[in-house]
Amino acid sequence: MKINGIFGYIGQQDPNKPKTLKGVCQVDQLSDNSWVCNGYDIEFETVHDALFATKEYHSMQNRDGKALIFCGEIFNKKALIAKLQDSCLCQISSQSAEEIAFHALCHWSIDEFLQEVNGVFAFAFYDALKQQVILVRDHLGTKSLYYSTGKNSFSFSTEIKYLFDAQCICPGIRKELLGEYFAQGWICEPDTLFCDINKVRAGEYLVIDLHPSIRITSKTYWHIYDHSSLNAMPDLVQIVKDQYDRNLAMGNFFSGGIDSSLLTAIIAEEVNPEIQSIHLQLGDSESERVQAMMKKYNLNIQKVEPDLSYCKQYPQIVYAMDEPVADPAIIAAYDLSIKARQRGFQVMFSGMGGDEIDAGYPRAKVLRYWKFLKLLTWIPYCFSCFLHGKKRRVFLRLYEFASATNVENYFNLFGYFSHSEIDSLVGREWFNLYRQKVQSLTNCLSGKKRFFYYDFIGFLASHNNIYGDKMAIASSVGCRFPLLDKNIAHYFFQKIDAPGNAGKRRLCNMLKQKLGTSYHYVRKSGFRFPVDDFLRNMVDWKEVEEQLLFAGVQDLSLFHKNLSESKKNMSEVYMKLWTYYTLATWVKVYFKGNEKK
């Protein structure tokens, strides 16, 4: 499993304890530069394996007292080059993303550059004259970027594990956030479950001033809810064209859902009708649309079966993820990325982001009638005893949310543990901290948009983007996400709370226009991976119990109850078990074992 990324350290000079990945990180290629500024050592390093799609993903520029380490890609290169050459009279010798970014940052302010650029990236820019380092994460958080502050030191990386490998910090668990983990299955930005390690938020940059001492300030440079309106729908066809690179072996992930189907239709009609697609066969209804589009466009589709052996590699996957994210779909993402690399693809298109930008999750339909949900509480709670399986789970979720339809209870619509169940696991104190955090993150908006905004900063930037990008990188494959173009996302968010838009209505209408009479309704299946048999037969639950206690879980009564229930009906509790197992695996990998190797 390959790991790629950027790393940096700023701290007081100490020749006996250099903070570097050299000699401690097993990589194919490592580039580094170091400087001294106002008594502080500054170390910039990039890491990438020899197979990775393009060197542009992890590159360094260094001259004239300025340096840039860049991870990602820029999609509006031509427009940026033209503006730079016109306004600054500078010559840009290549089309590489890092050279364009370096020239722009040398001639424009950071805010000017971030207003103009459109892409996915995480980068650090050092300016010796200003004695500062600027750390930036892209608009929608497609790339991960973490940082840690110490006494007279600051370290950052796209991979948390680098911070440990370079001995910048030792791993510790933020036990006060365990409630948030059980509520959601992941930790929302700017936090992580590691002590003293935070995420740079999507659309944010940090300025680290080195004079007279280390001072850190942050600024949000882009809001998806920006009040400046886009009256016209951005040209999605042109966005796909801008992200397509004929110099690379590019393929397409095609699940059969609305998002990937729309992108597949655009690519087939407008970009490259011969592009190869990979479809993971899960025996669901979305495969029907794959068949229909295969006939309409004469598509070259490679259908693959899920490789269940990857469940056994889950410790390595958790290590690559850095953070515990309890979603079996992560294995599917890794499986597909590995299969793409084995077939010679360097970069893949993905429909990720459609559910967030166009209210595609089932909970969006609940929010459509959220003011009337109070009526549900008139039904006696004991009514749930007459329901079974998924119906009972849905009823209980709705009932909990209806009791208080506010943003801090939103987790009831997508999580798997109830408020009272989490209380039993970690104590009652968790919810006050969680409520304060969620309210502070979303108080910039009102009404239903607060919920949709939390989907962006939480489920997208702190869940989907992390696993989508990290699993691709771990497989040495790049990814393109056209639906996460900043202008597309901003345009859709303007009216995301309109009643008629619930359920991905707008993207669905676009797909209907593309397919015409070939379009037919297909029930949403969702991206997932079969883990029932693995949980039933392959997991050492006694060991999981030990790791949960180490993590800080206070009472395992619910855990034992869920294990007992799984013997009768695994489908009712498998996601709870997966949440336990993910946390336990994360503890074992980062605190107790060497499964990462």
Give the residue-averaged pLDDT of 135-154.
Answer: 94
More confident position, 381 or 302: 302
More confident position, 88 or 191: 191
pLDDT of residue 227: 62
pLDDT of residue 32: 65
pLDDT of residue 59: 66
pLDDT of residue 474: 87
pLDDT of residue 33: 81
| DSSP secondary structure code for residue 543 in this structure | H
> Does the predicted TM-score (pTM) go above 0.85?
yes
**Under 8 Å between Cβ of 26 and 119:** no
More confident position, 51 or 543: 543
First-to-last C-alpha distance (Å) of the chain: 9
pLDDT of residue 25: 52
Task: Say whether pLDDT at 54 is over 50.
Answer: no
Q: How many CB atoms lie within 10 A of CB 399?
A: 18
pLDDT of residue 548: 98
Task: Say whether pLDDT at 597 is over 50.
Answer: no
Q: What is the share, in percent, of the chain residues with pLDDT greater than 70?
A: 91
| pLDDT single digits (tens) 490-532 | 999 998 988 788 778 999 999 999 999 888 888 776 667 889 9
pLDDT of residue 580: 98
pLDDT of residue 151: 83
Beta bridge partners of 9: 43, 155
| pLDDT single digits (tens) 200-255 | 999 999 999 998 889 999 999 999 988 667 788 999 999 999 999 998 999 999 99
> What is the chain's mean pLDDT, rounded?
88
Of the candidates 215, 214, 171, the one whose C-alpha atom is nearest the C-alpha of residue 12 is 214
The size of the chain, in residues, is: 597
| pLDDT single digits (tens) 72-108 | 999 999 999 999 888 876 777 777 888 899 999 999 9
User: Which stretch of 92-96, 174-178, 194-198, 358-362 has the lowest confidence by average pLDDT?
Assistant: 92-96
pLDDT of residue 53: 46
Of the candidates 225, 259, 221, the one whose C-alpha atom is nearest the C-alpha of residue 240 is 259
Task: Say whether pLDDT at 3 is over 80.
Answer: no
**Under 8 Å between Cβ of 408 and 435:** yes
Q: Report the amino acid identity of residue 351.
A: G
Strands (E), 319-422: 347-349
Letter string b/e over residues 429-459, b meaning 16 or more CB atoms within 10 A of that residue's CB: ebbeebeebbeebbeebeebbbbbbbbbbbb
Task: Say whether pLDDT at 71 is over 60.
Answer: yes
Cα dist. 429→177, 515, 549 in Å?
10, 52, 18
Task: Say whether pLDDT at 13 is over 70.
Answer: no
Give the residue-averaged pLDDT of 466-491.
Answer: 92
User: Which stretch of 9-23, 184-198, 207-221, 476-490 has the lowest confidence by average pLDDT?
Assistant: 9-23
**Under 8 Å between Cβ of 158 and 5:** yes
Beta bridge partners of 551: none
User: Which stretch of 371-380, 478-487, 496-505, 533-542 has the lowest confidence by average pLDDT?
Assistant: 371-380
Task: Say whether pLDDT at 422 is over 60.
Answer: yes
| pLDDT single digits (tens) 309-367 | 889 999 999 999 999 999 999 999 999 999 999 999 999 999 999 999 999 898 888 88
Task: Say whether pLDDT at 558 is over 50.
Answer: yes
pLDDT of residue 596: 46
Task: Say whether pLDDT at 5 is over 90.
Answer: no
Task: Say whether pLDDT at 40 is over 90.
Answer: no
pLDDT of residue 593: 61
User: Which stretch of 151-165, 325-339, 365-379 has the lowest confidence by average pLDDT?
Assistant: 365-379
**Range of 179-188, 219-228, 367-376 with top mean pLDDT:** 179-188
C-alpha span between 475 and 91 (Å, rounded): 35
Residue written as tokens 């393109």? 480
| pLDDT single digits (tens) 262-283 | 999 999 999 999 999 999 887 7
